[in-house]
Amino acid sequence: MDKLLTFTVVGVATAAIYAVIASGLVLTYTTTGVFNFAHGAAGMLGAFCYWQLRFDWGWPTPVALLVVLGILGPAFGVLLERVIMRGLAEASETVRLVVSISLLIGLIGLAQIIWAPGISRPMRTFFQAAAPVRLGPASITVHQIITIAVAVAVALGLRAVLYGLRLGVAMRATVDDRSLARLVGVRPERVAMAAWALGTCLAALGGILIAPGISLDAATLSLLIVNAYAAAIFGRLRSLPMTFVGALVLGLTDAYLTGYLPQNQYLPGLRLASPVILLFLVLLALPNPRLRGRLRITPEVPRPTAAGAVTFAALVVLSGVIAATTMTEPDLLTYARVFPVGIIALSLVPLTGYAGQISLCQLSFAGIGAVTVAHLGSDGNPAALLWAAAITAAVGALIALPALRLSGIYLALATAAFAVALDRWIFTLPRFSVFGLFDVALFGQGTLSVAPLEVAGVGFGGARARMVLMAGAFALAALVVVAVRRSRFGRQLLAMKDSEAACATLGMNLLGTKVAVFALSAAMAGVGGALLGMERGSIAPGTFELVAGLPIFALAVVGGVGTIGGALFAGLSLHGLLPLLAALLPGVTGYLVLLPGLAGIGLGRNPAGAVTDIRDGFAPLVRSPRVLGPTVALVVGWWVLRLAGVLTNWPFALLVLATPVGAVVAAQLAERPRAHDEALAWEWRGLLRRWSESDLEELDRALGPLGAGVGGGPA
């Protein structure tokens, strides 16, 4: 009985912290419509700042609290709103998601720059010296009392603000109808700013309360606070009272599992994963959203030609061969990861780009694939790759079942929950046996070595051979994705993204289609992970964590998630550009971790993305054989000179990079007059050049039959 009471007290205290954090999340979500994935990271920053002031610099507690909660927290919230979130009101859900995920990545990176990881930073609880208060047979510490009191105060305070103050009325009005609120004199920007200031403050408060109980580590803290998201989902991201109930459920579950879970080596992870498992279950229990979409301008999803795809694949393989024959061994080990990571990013193209389903657990699928080849392919047997594809496809199909009911932010959360459950529990399991039938070993609580592939006696153990293998695999995966886009299945995926309601009323089996695309995507990610494992030689659970996978997702969206180029961009940025910059500018290496986050945040400012412009710039290279032929010939020429020893590595690298850029510039210069001519605006025709019969035909076409045509200028 005292045990029950003791753990109830612990549970209620934990619940109080979750409630504080979750109510901040609900506040910002309801007033601005942005689900802030970085809410936890803001709390983490708050905890670090407090540690800095209170424990490192030794400021008095009240001063430190006042500075963090009264100045830094609100200021940071206002900054976020002004600089990042304000432009997102009109952005698509995927863009919003990517921006806040990138913010999470960026803040973790920032914290690790300021407070170097790996150093112990102890934090004392409030009034640690004071004796616990006896509570019948159990006892409660003063810190716990303060925590619970804070949560109660936050609940009452929020209620008072929302229903008592003019600001609160304005907030609720903005939630209901932004434009109507503006008409009656509410300024939504101000309301949003207040909500972000208050929300960030609550996150920081929660971070300060929770940090003493665990280690002060940026990633752990940011993700531990993810637990609080589950509480917010209990309230369907809207209801504060339900959010508090959710927090109570989570806190008590956690405490009772600590107290009553049998002590063995399999179950400690279950306790750590319990909040995300609850999150997953609550998401499934949410009422089914109505099956309706609406017509909106959807981003272009190009339909590559077969010839273009084959050319692209050949170029990828060629670049792999060139790299393999010119790079040093350490460089090869670094840069070859571009391709397997590219394949993992490529797995998002059919899933997110075509079908519009968001998944944050692609790297977890990759982990499952890697574990599979580590165990089944220890002799380099290529069949293990097929096993990796098959097993991950099966897991992916399972994940698709909740996807039938969830979309957008909820699906993102569900897949993130799945990833965290794997990280915290499944991947840490020791060897176990299923019904005594067969043994399953995952990571076995350590690292696993992955044997290189061996096909028909040809081993891929050497770095050079592996580089070619990886490039070839990426090329193959790209061809598969292009084939999907061009197929009946690909059209149906795009149709499903645009309108599930129409698909259903045309007789499409939505569940089957979603299961198929999740299985395909998971299988691709699994093979990518298997290859990544081979490239690395050894794998550990940390390789495939949620946090490691977020940059891949963000950069694939930045690069264009409907395109092969976008996936290659993600791989190239993470494992090409970043190591290259680190090698060129050793002084700023520490700051490079911010780049993926910044790229994603930039997406909010310019949703089409700078990458689209770059891609369009390179279009002539791929489109016109007259440009492509000489370019490839030149590059191959430099390569021959390099192999013959005439060129050294640096000039060679410069020439190889400069050649396509030069070719594109030359092609644009050559194309300009003609392109200019074609696109001549109507009002100049007949003036700048003679009016012709073809102009008349074009005008007719543009106006369409009986004036009901496409409208606009020449297409």
Name the residues that contact another protein, by CB under 8 A: 290-301, 488, 491-492, 494-495, 497-499, 501-510, 701, 704-711
Minimum distance of another protein from residue 488's CB (angstroms): 5
Residue 225 DSSP symbol: T
219 vs 484 by CB, closer to another protein: 484
For 471-575, strand residue ranges (E) read 538-539
Residue 443 phi, psi dihedral angles, 5° rounding = -85, -10
Q: How far is C-alpha 563 from the chain's CA centre?
A: 17
Taking CB atoms within 8 Å and a gap of at least 24, the contacts of 156-161 are 158/23, 158/27, 158/240, 159/240, 161/198
Q: How far is the CB of 291 from another protein (least distance, A)?
A: 6
Q: Which is nearer to another protein, 645 or 711 (CB)?
A: 711
Least distance (Å) from another protein to the CB of residue 452?
A: 41
Number of other residues whose CB lies within 10 A of the CB of residue 550: 24
**Residue of 618, 648, 614 whose CA lies nearest to 631:** 618
Task: Give the C-alpha separation, 278 to 235, whole Å.
Answer: 13
Q: Give Dmax over CA atoms of the chain in angstroms.
A: 99
- Smallest distance, Å, CB 236 to another protein? 17
Give strand ranges (E) for 325-470: 432-434, 438-440, 448-449, 454-455, 458-459
> What is the smallest separation between the CB atom of 503 and another protein, expressed in angstroms?
8
Looking at the Cβ atoms of 113 and 703, the one nearer to another protein is: 703
CB of 241 to another protein, least distance (A): 20
Burial of 434-464, coded b for 16+ CB within 10 Å and e otherwise, reads eeeeeeeebbeeebbebbbbeeeeeebeebb
Smallest distance from another protein to CB 92, Å? 13
Cα separation, 14 vs 206, in Å, equals 10
Shortest Cβ 710–another protein spacing (Å)? 6
Reference 409, options 551, 289, 239, 514; nearest CA is 289
| Contacts of 157 by beta carbon, 8 Å cutoff, 6+ apart | none
Beta-bridge mates of residue 439? 433
- Rounded to a whole number of angstroms, the minimum distance from the CB of residue 181 to another protein is 23
Please tell me the total number of residues recorded for the chain in this structure: 715
Q: Considering the complex, what minimum distance in angstroms separates the CB of residue 180 from another protein? A: 19
Strands 133-135 and 138-140: antiparallel
Q: How far is the CB of 711 from another protein (least distance, A)?
A: 7
Taking the CA of residue 346 as centre, how many other CA atoms within 13 Å lie in the half-sphere pointing to its CB?
A: 31
Give 293 or 472: the residue with its C-beta nearer to another protein: 293
As given in the structure block, the two tokens for residue 384 are 């293990």
Q: What is the DSSP letter of 343?
A: H
Closest approach, Cβ 403 to another protein, in A, equals: 17
As measured in angstroms, the least distance from the Cβ of 161 to another protein is 28
Contact 470, 336 (CB under 8 A): yes
Question: Is the separation of the CB atoms in 477 and 309 below 8 Å?
Answer: no
Q: Where are the alpha helices (DSSP H) in 235-380?
A: 240-260, 268-285, 306-326, 329-335, 338-346, 348, 362-376
Exposed / middle / buried, residue 586 (Cβ in 10 Å: 0-12, 13-18, 19+) = exposed
- Residue 488 or residue 674: which is nearer to another protein going by CB? 488
- Residues 370, 374: Cα–Cα separation, whole Å: 6
Minimum Å gap between C-beta 694 and another protein is 17
In terms of CB distance, is 459 or 709 closer to another protein?
709
Per-residue DSSP letter, 89? G
Residue with Cβ nearer another protein (404 or 476)? 404
CB of 337 or CB of 485, closer to another protein: 485
Residue number, 252 or 508, with CB nearest to another protein: 508
Q: Give the residue with the Cβ less far from another protein, 310 or 703.
A: 703
Residue 80 near residue 72, CB atoms below 8 Å:
no
Taking the complex as a whole, the smallest distance from the CB of residue 700 to another protein amounts, in Å, to 10
Our CB check for another protein shows the closer of 54 and 514 to be 514
Closer residue to another protein in complex, CB, 295/687: 295
- Of 171, 167, 418, 485, nearest to 284 (Cα)? 418
CB nearer to another protein: pick between 504 and 610: 504
Tell me how crowded residue 559 is: count the other CB atoms within 10 A of its CB.
Answer: 25
In a 13 Å sphere around the CA of 394, the CA atoms on its Cβ side amount to 8
Between CA 457 and CA 459, with CA 458 as vertex, the angle to 5 degrees is 110
Least CB distance to another protein at residue 708 (A):
6
Distance, CA of 198 to CA of 202 (rounded, Å)? 6
Measured between alpha carbons, how far is 41 from 45 in angstroms, rounded to an integer? 6
CB nearer to another protein: give 220 or 407. Answer: 407
Return the number of the residue (533 or 609) whose C-beta is nearest another protein. 609
> Packing angle between helix 510-536 and helix 383-403, nearest 10 degrees?
140
